[in-house]
Structure 1
Amino acid sequence: MFSPYLDSALLIFLYMNLLFLLALWKRDNSIVDVGWGLGFVLVAWWIHLYYPHPLSWLPAVLVSIWGLRLAGHIGRRKDREKKEDWRYAKWREEWGKWVVPRSYLQVFLLQGFFMWIVALPLMQRPAEAGLAWYQWIGIAVWLLGFLWEAIADWQLARFKSRPEKKGQLMMGGLWRLSRHPNYFGEIVLWWGLWLLMLPYG
């Protein structure tokens, strides 16, 4: 083991390469969307196991709850659609003979880099025992973001399941407040994790 930062970078690099090989085999780059949340779970537990401290289990559990829910949600959607997500299919067509190297660099390695950046709070070392008052606020912020994302995903899935709504934009519920409330919730929960890990970095 080298350091939490380097270990996590190497782990994510290996993980993204395995996802890329799976995507090549299935001809489906949108597999990376399912793998996104699971990658964070992998990093969180790696940090907990190899760089443990009295509270390292807490971010690992919170990230697991988020990552497993997100992977399950996207996986169920992919199972219903049974095809590559339209965004990745469009890129596949546009990239032509360069689809393999561009997929590797622009889809898998680029997302791996973003994953490492977002996961930086998980790699911090402990500075003190116990939770400070603002760390409890961080947990509350995480919970708010998690529920916001989960509810937004549920509302959109329910909307899309209604045949009469096909081709229409979701404008109710949390989607009335933002064009991408699920992404907003994800951003909020990661800021909550940052606040939780603040005294450790």
Structure 2
Amino acid sequence: MADETATARQKRVWDRAAPRYDNQMPLLERIWFAGGREWLGRRAHGRVLEIAVGTGRNLPFYASDVALVGVDLSPAMLAIARERAAGLGRAADLRESDAERLGFADASFDTVVCALSLCSIPDPAAAIAEMKRVLVPGGTLLLVDHVASSWPPVRAAQWLLEQVTVRAAGEHFTRRQLPLVTAAGFQIEEAERRKAGTVERIRARRP
């Protein structure tokens, strides 16, 4: 689809992936992202916005007292997330929205969460700028994602893999979000890399 925008392609890709997503993720999460969702849930507080909420795999890990809003490009992913929220008895406002153009007023949230998604958002810098805009001063940004490895041989393999995944699904393996978060003016409070530096967790504060 030569005239398709990057955002429209991502919506199509994730709508198509939605029925299989929950079957594909558990093994990856155990081996590669273990503990990441729990890490996010322990740090989220107050009015929480989750960007690219997907099928709602983070929902079980949020404290019961957070006021949760989740957005995603994909209606098919959101439909599964709504079913998950209902099954958990979790009140959540789940709506369709583009991470690069969020439909919320400035300073609307105490915490913004984005897990395993900036790797495929077409313009991650624009998405991070929007996350900052909707956070209150002093608000918390929480990110978990796969990033370019700190080991050169692994990074070279990621680059090769990316030649296929970027064309097929907009999925990047050699991005790193920390420089973008810093450039956006956030104060970094926690940053740790795992699995040969291929997974990074970031907690940052809006000044």
- Same-fold status (TM-score > 0.5): no
Higher relative contact order, chain-length normalized (CA < 8 Å, sep 6+): 1
With structure 1 as the length reference, what TM-score do the two structures score?
Answer: 0.23
Between structures 1 and 2, the one with greater strand share: 2
Between structures 1 and 2, the one with greater helix share: 1
